[in-house]
Chains A and B, each alone.
Chain A
Amino acid sequence: MKRLLQTLIWTAVAVLGAVALGTIAFHRGEPINATWFVLAAACSYLVAYRLYSAFIAAKLLALDNTRATPAERRDDGRDFVPTNKWVLFGHHFAAIAGPGPLVGPTLAAQFGYLPGTLWLIAGAAFAGCVQDFVILFCSIRRDGKTLGEMARDEVSKRGGLIAQLAVLTIMIILLAVVALVVVNALKSSPWATFTLAMTIPIALLLGVYLRYFRPGRVLEASLIGVALVLFVVVAGQWVADSPSLAKVFTLGGVTLAFAIIAYGFAASALPVWLLLAPRDYLSAFIKAGAIFSLAAGILLVRPQVLMPPLTRFVDGTGPVFAGKIFPFCFITIACGAISGFHSLISSGTTPKMIQREGHARFIGYGAMLLESFVGVMAMVAACAMTPGVYFAINSPASIVGATPEAAAATISSWGYPLSGGTMTGLAHAVGEQTLLNRAGGAPSLAVGMAQIFSSTIGGDRLLSIWYHFAIMFEALFILTVLDAGTRVGRFMIQELGGRVWKPMGRMNWMPGILLSSAIIVGAWGYFLYQGVVDPLGGINSLWPLFGISNQLLAAVALVVATTILLKMGRLKWIWVTLLPMAWLVIITMTASYQKIFSANSRIGFLAQANALAAQIAAGKIAAAKIADTQRVIFNLRLDAAVTAVLAVMILVLLVEALVQWYAILIRTKEPVMQETPYVATQWAEAD
Chain B
Amino acid sequence: MQKLRQQFELALRNFWRGFRQWSGDSAYETYLACAQRQKATKPLSRTEFYVEQLNRKYSRPNRCC
Contacts and interface: CB of A to CB of B under 8 A. Distances in A.
Interface stretch (A70-78, A513-521, A665-673): A70-78
A219 B23 contact: yes
Contacts of A96: 64
A348 B60 contact: yes
A487 B7 CA distance: 45
Interface string A390-416: 000000000000000000000000000
Interface bin, chain B:
35 or more
A123 to B, nearest CB: 16
Contacts of B50: 210-211, 215-216, 273
B59 A487 contact: yes
Nearest to A491: B59
- Overall SS of chain B's interface: helix
Among A78, A167, A344, the most chain B Cβ lie within 10 Å of the Cβ of A78
Given A76-B34, A216-B46, A273-B54, A146 B25 contact: no
A286 interface: no
Contact of B63 (A87, A218, A485, A507): A485
A339 B64 contact: yes
A502 to B, nearest CB: 19
Contact of A84 (B21, B63, B64): B21
Contacts of A284: 23
Contacts of A261: none
Contact of A277 (B18, B28, B52, B58): B58
A117 interface: no
B8 interface: no
Interface in A536-557: 546, 550
Nearest to A489: B61
16 contacts: A78-B53, A84-B21, A86-B18, A95-B62, A95-B63, A99-B65, A146-B60, A216-B50, A216-B53, A219-B25, A272-B54, A272-B58, A276-B58, A485-B61, A487-B58, A491-B60
Interface of A: 75-79, 81, 83-84, 86-87, 90-91, 94-100, 146, 167, 174, 178, 210-211, 215-219, 222, 271-273, 276-277, 280-281, 284-285, 334-335, 339, 341-342, 344-345, 348-349, 480-481, 484-485, 487-488, 491, 507, 546, 550
Among A75, A218, A281, A546, the most chain B Cβ lie within 10 Å of the Cβ of A218
Contact of B65 (A98, A216, A488): A98
Nearest to B40: A77
A460 B5 CA distance: 42
Contacts of A75: 34, 37
B47 interface: yes
Interface string B32-49: 111101100000001101
A171 to B, nearest CB: 8
Contacts of B56: 78-79
B47 A211 contact: yes
A488 B60 contact: yes
Nearest to A170: B65
A178 B18 contact: no
A664 to B, nearest CB: 30
A467 to B, nearest CB: 24
Contacts of A345: 61-62, 64
B64 A100 contact: yes
Given A91-B22, A276-B58, 17 more contacts: A76-B34, A78-B31, A78-B56, A84-B18, A97-B64, A98-B65, A99-B65, A211-B47, A216-B25, A218-B24, A335-B64, A345-B64, A349-B57, A349-B62, A484-B58, A484-B63, A487-B58
